[in-house]
Structure 1
């Protein structure tokens, strides 16, 4: 079975990240039997804690995309993040905005594999888990990684987001 183009883009980006630094981490995108549109559904499907799910949330930050990778165990405090970043308006992005900047649908947005760079914050709460799971470009695709690898492969900035 041929991989969905979004899944292939994510796997290619993971492979490229590993090749650049020689880490040999070899993150592998996996397909779940069914789509998972929430952190709770993903945690159930993977038999892990909901906090181990790295939700990929795209925000419109004064017209620019901002990806916040947050633990599935809590919600992003948009006022806090906006203040920390010095933006006047931080809003949940529309599905069209998300797809335009990531090439991926809401519910399957991966931390990487986008057509261009997207400023990324990585929730420090994810550091409390030895393994975290992120979306792989479509709602059925996921991959395991670690907090440190997630920061590295996304060139993200660790942040308190809740």
Structure 2
């Protein structure tokens, strides 16, 4: 008997592979028995420090009348400093995206947003604090799916920019 894989999980796995992620880590993508909607819940389920969880947070970067998505991958131990991020990217304002916007730009729901596997690539900042961990864990496209990666690999597969994003 085979178990069906959620389409979002399949897209994340494919995007990781296409992005050059280590196949051994991609193979460790797993679906936990229950959803892990917060960094603390994910850390507890995986037996790792909360800082080793890479939260995928979608923001709206506002410049004049333009509103563009921005993905910030931050350590679960941090809160994003929105004013600092706005200054970093040259936006007038950076604000948390509403759930409908997140779903539109990622194809995934809040609590399960992966760093990759979206309908189109998103501009991405990767929290430099994640580099302190040998292995980090990120969401796999649904709230119960997670996969291991490294800071360098996360930057590579997302084509992200390392940045100081915490306040």
What's the TM-score once normalised by structure 1's chain length? 0.95
The alpha carbon displacement at 1:18 in A equals 2.3
Report the number of matched residues. 159
Match of 1:56 in 2: 56
Determine if contact 2:25/2:147 at 8 Å carries over to the other structure: no
Determine if contact 1:69/1:121 at 8 Å carries over to the other structure: yes
Tell me which stretches of 4 or more aligned residues in structure 1 moved more than 6 Å.
none
Match of 1:67 in 2: 71
- Structure 2: 5+ residue stretches without partners: none
Aligned with residue 159 of structure 2, among 150, 155, 158: 155
Structure-1 separation of matches of 2:24 and 2:120:
23
Match of 1:110 in 2: 114
Aligned pairs for 1:130-145 within 5 A? 130-145=134-149
Match of 1:88 in 2: 92
Match of 1:38 in 2: 38
Q: Once superposed, what is the RMSD of the aligned Cα atoms? A: 1.1
Give the secondary-structure state (helix, strand or coil) at the position aligned to 2:111: coil
The alpha carbon displacement at 1:78 in A equals 0.4
